[in-house]
Amino acid sequence: MLRIMRKQTQSLFIRILLGAIVIVFVFWGVGSFKEERAGRLAGVNGRVITFDEFRDSYNDLLELYRRQYGDHLDNNVMKALNIKHQAVDRLISQYVILQEAEDLGLVVTKDELVGAIQEIPAFKNNGRFDQNAYVKALGRLGMTPETYEERVRRDILISKMQGVIVDTVKVSEAEALEAARKDNEMVDIDFVVFSPSTQEDPELAAEDVEAYYSTHKDRYETPMKIKVCYLAFPFKAFEKGITVTEDEIGNYYELNTEEFSTPKSVKARHILFMLPEDASPEQVEEARKRAADCLEKARGEEDFAALARKYSEGPTKDRGGDLGTFSPGRMVKPFEDAAFSLSAGEISDLVRTKFGWHIIKVEELNEARQTPLDEAKENIRRTLTEERAMADAFEEANKIYEECASAWAMVDVAADYKLQVESTPFFAANEQVPGFKPNDSVRISEEAFALQGDEVSPLVELEDQYCILQQIEKKDAEIPDLKDVEERVRKDLLKEEKRQLTRKAAEEFLAAAREENAFDKSAKKQGLTLQNTGFFKKGDAIPELGNAPSFLRAAFLLSAEQPFPEAVVEANGKYIVFRLKEKKEAEKEVLLSQKESVTNRILGQKRQAVFSEWLSALKEQAEIVYYQQDFLDP
């Protein structure tokens, strides 16, 4: 069951297993709830993609985005991501790649398969592959070695196919140097900002409001809403009567010793003198000298935290260099080796990492510890009780689902089993479903809007319960009369009118400044504040403008001969007019020092582009059929 398996993935051991082989286009699932639902969703060159495969792919993607977005993954974000389409597209990509690899005669040898599996840390004991650990790990995930090995084989085959496509991609020296030149090019820009908020509100005639509404009716459409009834199977309700024996607790403890191991750790501070990864020897030496001077102060009994606040260039500067407590594997190796070689209160020599020069002070040293069984017993009892409750809830819910799906009558089945049927008020796809937690609401909404007619949903796994849904009423989307939304329409029209007036003023300013070459004079005449960015590179942020990619693109197209942009630039609801004050090119030595790192970056980009183009062409040539297009529509 997904929840039990997900709970077990909290251990490093299982996380490593699940993340051991990552292929961009493959998302493997963990099972489905009912074989009869394994109907056709799509087809690729005669190979059927089932609803079960889709559901597995969808659940994997949903978990990925839950980790990425956390509590911000609401229905609006879900709709924008269109996870249903992504899930199907990944399955299609997977199968066209595998079919092409097989057509080319690519194979995975037994030695390659065995070698890949034996290198996965989760299956090792004391640095060597352990067959028992392998079987137990897969068993805990409800997976046989045969199933897992087939999946690994496919992953390797896809990786081989990727290699065939991209291995011939090259980057010339001229390409690398030109890219390095653009990376290091700097410009200094003068600019003025025109904001709609400074415009007075124009008068809006009734006919203008009507015309705007007629043109933009779709904006005011009320979305389709549905109401569902549901059966809930809370895990907590199934805990009563569960007994966990001492032997079971002991067995769990022995099989999960890593869960009760606390590794050696240190509490430390550091002072960092940062360096770019492609730093020149001169830059490295200059930073080393500054670090050496600081080290002398630290060993001269000056307060280490105060020195960190004054000299450190890292993100922990304001915390006095405090890194908190960390165990092995958390830091880059040179830093980790130095930190764990120190005693409490000791200060390191200078340590060089890819981030720069570090000075480390260890404040506490904590030895590794194994929690005794007696201390862990109650937590183990709680874990096993919760897992069994989940399993029992799944078994009961699945039994009820089977009957509901056969009869298409949740209320009748619930009455037979004396179960309480709950119902929701009407809700839209982008709204919180009343009665459910935010993340659970996303799942409920997705499942509910996928239902057709009186269809009963498969089990929906939520944070602390399983649910079965059935749609009971639907209100179609509709466009309201103007009188019902007139206030909104007036606000939108007013905003648009002020935006247009602001743009016109900015364009007139740019035309005058360009014609008279009198940027400063024009700004002063209109009472505008003339601002300056200072020198910046392409990837730098401009605090006064926020996220303004269109401004950055236009700024680096300017030259001494063409100091003004072709048009005003809109950024974050404002209009920007600007001119080039000065441009700087990087020294040749800097470009040469960055050639290798830039080459690697461009090579990765070109390989990704080549593979994506190849895959797109392959999919265009493939015979792809969607049997349930309505289901896949966002």
* Residue 556, domain member (yes or no): yes
* Residue 463, domain member (yes or no): yes
Angle ∠(383,389,393) on CA atoms, nearest 5 = 150
What distances in angstroms separate CA 612 from CA 163, 599, 600, 617, one per listed residue? 13, 20, 18, 9
Average pLDDT for 408-429: 92
Q: 3-state SS of the chain: helix, strand, coil percent to 5?
A: 55, 20, 30
Per-residue exposure over 57-80, b if at least 16 CB sit within 10 Å of its own CB, e if not: bbbbbbeebeeeeeeebbbeebee
Mean pLDDT of the chain: 87
Can you read off the two tokens belonging to residue 466? 């399983």
SS3 457: coil
What per-residue confidence (pLDDT) applies to 84?
A: 86
What per-residue confidence (pLDDT) applies to 173?
A: 92
Task: Note whether 466 and 440 are within 8 A (CB).
Answer: no
How many domains are there within the chain? Answer: 4
Kindly give the pairing relationship between strand 465-475 and strand 225-234: antiparallel
What per-residue confidence (pLDDT) applies to 448?
A: 93
Model confidence over 223-242: pLDDT tens digits? 999 999 999 999 999 999 89
Its domain, for residue 272, covers 264-367
Do 89 and 135 sit in the same domain of this protein? Answer: yes
Model confidence over 23-56: pLDDT tens digits? 222 223 333 333 334 478 889 998 888 887 888 7
One-letter amino acid of 128: R
Q: CATH number of the domain that 346 lies in?
A: 3.10.50.40
Tell me phi and psi for residue 50, to 5 degrees.
-90, 165
Out of 367-381, 411-425, 541-555, pick the least confident: 541-555
Do 325 and 270 sit in the same domain of this protein? Answer: yes
Q: CATH number of the domain that 509 lies in?
A: 3.10.50
Q: At what angle do helices 145-166 and 131-140 cross, to 10 degrees?
A: 100
Kindly give the pairing relationship between strand 128-129 and strand 124-125: antiparallel
What per-residue confidence (pLDDT) applies to 34?
A: 37
6 Cβ contact list (under 8 Å, min separation 6):
63
Q: Is residue 469's pLDDT more than 90?
A: yes
Do 52 and 116 sit in the same domain of this protein? Answer: yes
Do 412 and 535 sit in the same domain of this protein? Answer: no
212 Cβ contact list (under 8 Å, min separation 6):
489, 492, 493, 496
159 Cβ contact list (under 8 Å, min separation 6):
23
Do 49 and 125 sit in the same domain of this protein? Answer: yes
Do 19 and 159 sit in the same domain of this protein? Answer: yes
CA distance 15 to 8: 9
* Residue 136, domain member (yes or no): yes
Three-class SS of 599-632: HHHHHHHHHHHHHHHHHHHHHHHCCEEECCHHHH
Can you read off the two tokens belonging to residue 586? 């990087």
Do 86 and 124 sit in the same domain of this protein? Answer: yes
What per-residue confidence (pLDDT) applies to 61?
A: 87
* Residue 601, domain member (yes or no): no
* Residue 576, domain member (yes or no): yes
* Residue 181, domain member (yes or no): no
Do 270 and 238 sit in the same domain of this protein? Answer: no
Do 342 and 394 sit in the same domain of this protein? Answer: no
Give the Cβ contact number of residue 453 at 10 Å: 8
Domain boundary among 415, 446, 475: 475
Q: CATH number of the domain that 129 lies in?
A: 1.10.4030.10
- Tokens 């191991």 belong to 261
Q: Is residue 8's pLDDT more than 70?
A: no
Find how far residue 570's CA is from the centre of its chain.
Answer: 28
Can you read off the two tokens belonging to residue 138? 């897969």
What per-residue confidence (pLDDT) applies to 140?
A: 67
* Residue 21, domain member (yes or no): yes
What per-residue confidence (pLDDT) applies to 633?
A: 67
Kindly give the pairing relationship between strand 356-366 and strand 265-274: antiparallel
Average pLDDT for 89-111: 93
Domain boundary among 475, 504, 528: 475
Do 51 and 138 sit in the same domain of this protein? Answer: yes
**How does residue 1 score in pLDDT terms, banded at 50, 70 and 90?**
very low
SS3 551: helix
Domain boundary among 343, 367, 391: 367
Find how far residue 253's CA is from the centre of its chain.
Answer: 34
197 Cβ contact list (under 8 Å, min separation 6):
none
For residue 363, the cross-strand partners are none
Do 116 and 18 sit in the same domain of this protein? Answer: yes
Task: Note whether 19 and 12 are within 8 A (CB).
Answer: no
Nearest to 266 by CA among 330, 212, 218, 211: 330
What per-residue confidence (pLDDT) applies to 521?
A: 85
Q: Is residue 81's pLDDT more than 90?
A: no
Most distant CA pair in the chain, distance: 90
Tell me phi and psi for residue 409, to 5 degrees.
-145, 85
Model confidence over 571-630: pLDDT tens digits? 989 999 999 999 999 888 888 888 888 899 999 999 999 999 999 999 999 999 988 776
Can you read off the two tokens belonging to residue 303? 């307060």
Do 216 and 239 sit in the same domain of this protein? Answer: no
* Residue 462, domain member (yes or no): yes
Can you read off the two tokens belonging to residue 625? 């059929």
CA distance 504 to 459: 57
CA distance 125 to 133: 8
Model confidence over 117-165: pLDDT tens digits? 998 887 877 778 888 888 877 876 667 888 889 889 989 999 999 999 9
Tell how many helices (H) and how many strands (E) occur in the chain.
23, 20
CA distance 35 to 50: 10
Find how far residue 248's CA is from the centre of its chain.
Answer: 38
